[in-house]
Amino acid sequence: MESAQRHRVIAIDGPAASGKSSVARELAQRLHFVYVNSGAMYRAVTWSVLQRGINPTDKSRIAQLIATLKFGCELKDGELRLLIDDVDLTPQLHEDRVNGEVSRVSTVPEVRQVIFNRLRDYANKYDLVVEGRDIGSVVFSETPFKFYIDASPEVRAQRRAAQGHRDQIARRDRADSSRSASPLIVAEDADVIETSHLTVDQVVDEIMKRLRKKNFRVAG
Protein backbone atom coordinates (compact mmCIF):
# COMPACT_ATOMS: atom_id res chain seq x y z
CA MET A 1 0.00 0.00 0.00
CA GLU A 2 1.50 3.31 -1.02
CA SER A 3 1.93 6.06 1.56
CA ALA A 4 -0.17 9.21 1.39
CA GLN A 5 1.83 11.99 -0.23
CA ARG A 6 2.85 14.84 2.01
CA HIS A 7 2.35 17.72 -0.38
CA ARG A 8 -0.55 19.17 -2.32
CA VAL A 9 -1.09 17.99 -5.88
CA ILE A 10 -3.15 19.62 -8.61
CA ALA A 11 -3.96 17.15 -11.40
CA ILE A 12 -4.47 18.41 -14.95
CA ASP A 13 -5.60 15.73 -17.40
CA GLY A 14 -6.89 15.92 -20.93
CA PRO A 15 -6.40 14.78 -24.52
CA ALA A 16 -3.45 15.62 -26.75
CA ALA A 17 -2.90 19.29 -27.59
CA SER A 18 -5.71 20.45 -25.32
CA GLY A 19 -3.44 23.16 -23.89
CA LYS A 20 -2.62 21.25 -20.69
CA SER A 21 1.08 22.08 -20.74
CA SER A 22 0.70 25.85 -21.07
CA VAL A 23 -2.03 25.89 -18.44
CA ALA A 24 -0.23 23.61 -16.00
CA ARG A 25 3.04 25.52 -16.33
CA GLU A 26 1.38 28.90 -15.80
CA LEU A 27 -0.68 27.61 -12.88
CA ALA A 28 2.44 26.19 -11.21
CA GLN A 29 4.23 29.53 -11.61
CA ARG A 30 1.36 31.47 -10.06
CA LEU A 31 1.14 29.12 -7.10
CA HIS A 32 4.90 28.58 -6.71
CA PHE A 33 4.31 24.86 -7.15
CA VAL A 34 6.62 22.56 -9.09
CA TYR A 35 5.43 21.65 -12.59
CA VAL A 36 5.60 18.05 -13.82
CA ASN A 37 4.79 16.95 -17.37
CA SER A 38 4.14 13.21 -17.11
CA GLY A 39 3.70 12.95 -20.90
CA ALA A 40 7.33 14.06 -21.23
CA MET A 41 8.30 11.14 -18.97
CA TYR A 42 6.50 8.63 -21.23
CA ARG A 43 8.11 10.31 -24.23
CA ALA A 44 11.60 10.02 -22.71
CA VAL A 45 11.13 6.30 -22.11
CA THR A 46 9.80 5.89 -25.68
CA TRP A 47 12.82 7.70 -27.12
CA SER A 48 15.13 5.40 -25.13
CA VAL A 49 13.30 2.33 -26.49
CA LEU A 50 13.54 3.54 -30.09
CA GLN A 51 17.12 4.70 -29.75
CA ARG A 52 18.17 1.17 -28.82
CA GLY A 53 16.40 -0.29 -31.84
CA ILE A 54 13.86 -2.11 -29.67
CA ASN A 55 10.59 -2.92 -31.40
CA PRO A 56 7.89 -0.86 -29.60
CA THR A 57 5.51 -3.84 -29.79
CA ASP A 58 7.97 -6.04 -27.84
CA LYS A 59 6.64 -5.53 -24.33
CA SER A 60 8.95 -8.00 -22.62
CA ARG A 61 12.04 -6.43 -24.18
CA ILE A 62 10.79 -2.99 -23.06
CA ALA A 63 10.23 -4.34 -19.55
CA GLN A 64 13.81 -5.69 -19.55
CA LEU A 65 15.13 -2.33 -20.67
CA ILE A 66 13.24 -0.48 -17.94
CA ALA A 67 14.95 -2.65 -15.35
CA THR A 68 18.38 -1.55 -16.61
CA LEU A 69 17.82 2.19 -17.02
CA LYS A 70 18.89 4.66 -14.38
CA PHE A 71 16.09 7.14 -13.63
CA GLY A 72 16.87 10.47 -12.02
CA CYS A 73 15.43 13.94 -12.03
CA GLU A 74 16.44 17.57 -12.21
CA LEU A 75 14.55 20.65 -11.04
CA LYS A 76 14.98 23.31 -13.73
CA ASP A 77 13.06 26.60 -13.96
CA GLY A 78 10.35 25.32 -11.64
CA GLU A 79 9.93 22.09 -13.61
CA LEU A 80 10.91 18.57 -12.58
CA ARG A 81 12.42 16.72 -15.53
CA LEU A 82 13.08 13.02 -15.79
CA LEU A 83 16.70 12.09 -16.47
CA ILE A 84 17.45 8.74 -18.06
CA ASP A 85 21.01 7.54 -17.51
CA ASP A 86 21.77 11.11 -16.35
CA VAL A 87 20.53 12.71 -19.60
CA ASP A 88 17.69 15.23 -19.98
CA LEU A 89 16.03 14.14 -23.24
CA THR A 90 13.79 17.21 -23.59
CA PRO A 91 15.15 18.23 -27.05
CA GLN A 92 14.25 14.80 -28.47
CA LEU A 93 10.78 14.39 -27.05
CA HIS A 94 8.73 15.70 -29.98
CA GLU A 95 10.47 13.79 -32.75
CA ASP A 96 8.01 12.23 -35.20
CA ARG A 97 9.06 8.71 -34.21
CA VAL A 98 8.29 9.47 -30.55
CA ASN A 99 4.87 10.93 -31.45
CA GLY A 100 4.20 7.77 -33.44
CA GLU A 101 5.05 5.21 -30.75
CA VAL A 102 4.54 6.84 -27.35
CA SER A 103 0.96 5.61 -26.94
CA ARG A 104 2.08 2.04 -27.58
CA VAL A 105 5.05 2.16 -25.18
CA SER A 106 2.82 3.77 -22.54
CA THR A 107 0.71 0.61 -22.36
CA VAL A 108 3.58 -1.48 -20.98
CA PRO A 109 2.82 -2.07 -17.27
CA GLU A 110 6.47 -1.81 -16.18
CA VAL A 111 6.72 1.59 -17.89
CA ARG A 112 3.58 2.84 -16.15
CA GLN A 113 4.78 1.49 -12.81
CA VAL A 114 8.15 3.22 -12.91
CA ILE A 115 6.56 6.56 -13.81
CA PHE A 116 3.81 6.11 -11.21
CA ASN A 117 6.45 5.52 -8.54
CA ARG A 118 8.45 8.56 -9.56
CA LEU A 119 5.41 10.83 -9.54
CA ARG A 120 4.40 9.61 -6.07
CA ASP A 121 7.92 10.18 -4.92
CA TYR A 122 7.97 13.76 -6.24
CA ALA A 123 4.84 14.50 -4.21
CA ASN A 124 6.69 13.51 -1.05
CA LYS A 125 9.08 16.39 -1.70
CA TYR A 126 7.16 19.18 -3.42
CA ASP A 127 3.76 20.77 -3.98
CA LEU A 128 2.98 19.83 -7.57
CA VAL A 129 0.97 20.67 -10.64
CA VAL A 130 1.05 17.44 -12.67
CA GLU A 131 -0.34 17.09 -16.18
CA GLY A 132 -1.11 13.87 -18.01
CA ARG A 133 -3.85 11.35 -18.79
CA ASP A 134 -4.35 9.39 -15.56
CA ILE A 135 -3.17 11.85 -12.91
CA GLY A 136 -6.55 12.56 -11.30
CA SER A 137 -8.02 9.13 -12.05
CA VAL A 138 -5.14 6.87 -10.96
CA VAL A 139 -1.82 8.38 -9.86
CA PHE A 140 -3.22 10.98 -7.45
CA SER A 141 -6.82 9.81 -7.27
CA GLU A 142 -6.99 11.07 -3.67
CA THR A 143 -6.35 14.72 -4.50
CA PRO A 144 -9.44 16.94 -4.30
CA PHE A 145 -7.86 19.27 -6.89
CA LYS A 146 -8.35 17.72 -10.30
CA PHE A 147 -9.18 19.25 -13.65
CA TYR A 148 -9.91 17.87 -17.08
CA ILE A 149 -8.93 20.32 -19.81
CA ASP A 150 -10.63 19.83 -23.17
CA ALA A 151 -10.94 21.64 -26.52
CA SER A 152 -12.60 20.78 -29.81
CA PRO A 153 -10.64 18.49 -32.16
CA GLU A 154 -10.28 21.37 -34.65
CA VAL A 155 -8.82 23.73 -32.05
CA ARG A 156 -6.48 21.05 -30.76
CA ALA A 157 -5.20 20.29 -34.27
CA GLN A 158 -4.59 24.03 -34.80
CA ARG A 159 -2.75 24.33 -31.48
CA ARG A 160 -0.44 21.44 -32.31
CA ALA A 161 0.22 22.74 -35.84
CA ALA A 162 1.06 26.17 -34.38
CA GLN A 163 3.77 24.46 -32.31
CA GLY A 164 5.27 23.20 -35.56
CA HIS A 165 4.88 19.54 -34.61
CA ARG A 166 3.58 16.80 -36.83
CA ASP A 167 1.46 14.71 -34.54
CA GLN A 168 -1.53 12.50 -35.26
CA ILE A 169 -3.40 13.56 -32.17
CA ALA A 170 -6.69 11.84 -33.06
CA ARG A 171 -4.87 8.52 -33.40
CA ARG A 172 -3.10 8.99 -30.05
CA ASP A 173 -6.33 10.00 -28.33
CA ARG A 174 -8.05 6.85 -29.59
CA ALA A 175 -5.19 4.69 -28.36
CA ASP A 176 -4.94 6.48 -24.99
CA SER A 177 -8.70 6.32 -24.36
CA SER A 178 -9.22 2.71 -25.39
CA ARG A 179 -6.31 1.00 -23.60
CA SER A 180 -7.01 -1.13 -20.55
CA ALA A 181 -4.21 0.25 -18.34
CA SER A 182 -5.03 3.71 -16.95
CA PRO A 183 -6.98 4.96 -19.97
CA LEU A 184 -7.69 8.64 -20.50
CA ILE A 185 -11.02 9.21 -18.76
CA VAL A 186 -12.67 12.10 -17.00
CA ALA A 187 -12.26 11.29 -13.29
CA GLU A 188 -15.64 11.26 -11.55
CA ASP A 189 -14.76 14.19 -9.31
CA ALA A 190 -12.79 16.24 -11.89
CA ASP A 191 -13.79 19.75 -12.92
CA VAL A 192 -14.08 19.83 -16.71
CA ILE A 193 -13.00 23.05 -18.45
CA GLU A 194 -13.74 23.52 -22.15
CA THR A 195 -10.95 25.77 -23.40
CA SER A 196 -11.63 26.14 -27.14
CA HIS A 197 -12.52 29.83 -26.76
CA LEU A 198 -10.30 30.71 -23.80
CA THR A 199 -6.74 32.00 -23.52
CA VAL A 200 -4.23 30.29 -21.24
CA ASP A 201 -4.60 33.10 -18.69
CA GLN A 202 -8.39 32.77 -18.73
CA VAL A 203 -8.17 29.02 -18.13
CA VAL A 204 -5.74 29.54 -15.25
CA ASP A 205 -8.01 32.24 -13.77
CA GLU A 206 -10.89 29.78 -13.95
CA ILE A 207 -8.87 27.05 -12.24
CA MET A 208 -7.82 29.47 -9.49
CA LYS A 209 -11.45 30.41 -8.95
CA ARG A 210 -12.50 26.78 -8.68
CA LEU A 211 -9.57 25.97 -6.38
CA ARG A 212 -10.69 28.67 -3.97
CA LYS A 213 -14.17 27.15 -3.97
CA LYS A 214 -12.55 23.88 -2.94
CA ASN A 215 -10.94 25.70 0.00
CA PHE A 216 -7.51 25.52 -1.57
CA ARG A 217 -5.31 27.98 0.32
CA VAL A 218 -3.52 30.33 -2.06
CA ALA A 219 -0.45 31.91 -0.44
CA GLY A 220 -0.09 35.72 -0.51
The contact set with ligand C5P (CB under 6 A) reads 16, 38-39, 42-43, 102-103, 106, 132-135, 172, 176
- Output b/e per residue, 118-155; b: 16+ Cβ within 10 A: bbbebbeebbbbbbbbbbbbbbbeebebbbbbbbeeeb
Given the complex with ligand C5P, which of 39 and 56 has the nearer CB atom? 39
Given the complex with ligand C5P, which of 166 and 212 has the nearer CB atom? 166
- Taking the complex as a whole, how short is the minimal distance between the CB of residue 40 and ligand C5P, in angstroms? 6
- Taking the complex as a whole, how short is the minimal distance between the CB of residue 212 and ligand C5P, in angstroms? 26
Given the complex with ligand C5P, which of 30 and 174 has the nearer CB atom? 174
Given the complex with ligand C5P, which of 8 and 160 has the nearer CB atom? 160
Q: Which residue is nearest to ligand C5P (CB)?
A: 39
- Taking the complex as a whole, how short is the minimal distance between the CB of residue 172 and ligand C5P, in angstroms? 4
Residue 73 carries which side chain, given as an amino acid letter? C
- Taking the complex as a whole, how short is the minimal distance between the CB of residue 171 and ligand C5P, in angstroms? 10
- Torsion sign across C-alpha atoms 9, 80, 206, 191: negative
Residue 58 carries which side chain, given as an amino acid letter? D
Given the complex with ligand C5P, which of 106 and 191 has the nearer CB atom? 106
Rounded Cα distance between 157 and 168, Å, is 9
- Taking the complex as a whole, how short is the minimal distance between the CB of residue 53 and ligand C5P, in angstroms? 21
* First-residue to last-residue Cα distance in the chain: 36
Rounded Cα distance between 23 and 9, Å, is 15
